[in-house]
Structure 1
């Protein structure tokens, strides 16, 4: 299994559990979490990331992700996230790795997906 896939599996586990230990397992203590490439207010440091991840979702998200490309320092992930009854997104993620395999920098690139046509 690739480093990025292992990290992605941990990300999904942390997203579902909202457990601080699961979040800490995938991000370094000094990690940066950017919600967009030019995010003026990223979550800086593990405590801010844990706090942000503890927030409740609007609905139970459904998601599908796969690793596009990777090397030892960067993984690129593509996927979709659907919040039933709310919004759907297409995602591209940059996962910048520390030597221990945790993310030291995470950048989301996302676009809101159009609603399916009415039947």
Structure 2
């Protein structure tokens, strides 16, 4: 059983590496985040991207250019190898998203086996 402090520290390390990959769009940085058979859901209503190769390709297809966004958040909770991360992403274009991520780390606590993100546009829709 993983201790809560160890799980929290692993979550924070993973997020740091994720943000690094987000800012670099480097294939090795992205690939290092995910197990070979990982599932990545960018939208709960579409099929998951499955496998590290497909995740890297998908990421690079929809990549954000470095320096065009800010990202801040914190671990909202941990449950074993799964952590929950609440954040805000602000793009230079003016779009701001609230984010909730659910990430399950592999046994090595370095790579994600599963990543699901929910995002909400904070724009006034009225």
With structure 1 as the length reference, what TM-score do the two structures score? 0.86
Q: Could you tell me which residue of structure 2 aligns to residue 114 of structure 1? A: 123
Q: CA deviation at 1:23?
A: 1.0
- The number of aligned residues is 114
Alpha-carbon RMSD across the aligned residues, in angstroms, is 1.7
Unpaired stretches in structure 1, ≥5 consecutive residues: none
8 Å contact from structure 1 (residues 94, 108) kept in 2: yes
With structure 2 as the length reference, what TM-score do the two structures score? 0.82
1:49 maps to 2:77: no
Q: 5 Å matches for 1:13-28?
A: 13-28=20-35
Q: Report Cα offsets for 1:16-69 as digits up to 9, x if no partner.
A: 1111111111111111100123x3222111111111221342771111121111
8 Å contact from structure 2 (residues 22, 64) kept in 1: no
Paired with 1:4 and 1:33, the residues of 2 have a C-alpha distance of: 16
Unpaired stretches in structure 2, ≥5 consecutive residues: 1-7
Point out the structure with the larger helix share: 2
Q: 5 Å matches for 1:52-67?
A: 52-55=58-61, 56-57=63-64, 60-67=68-75
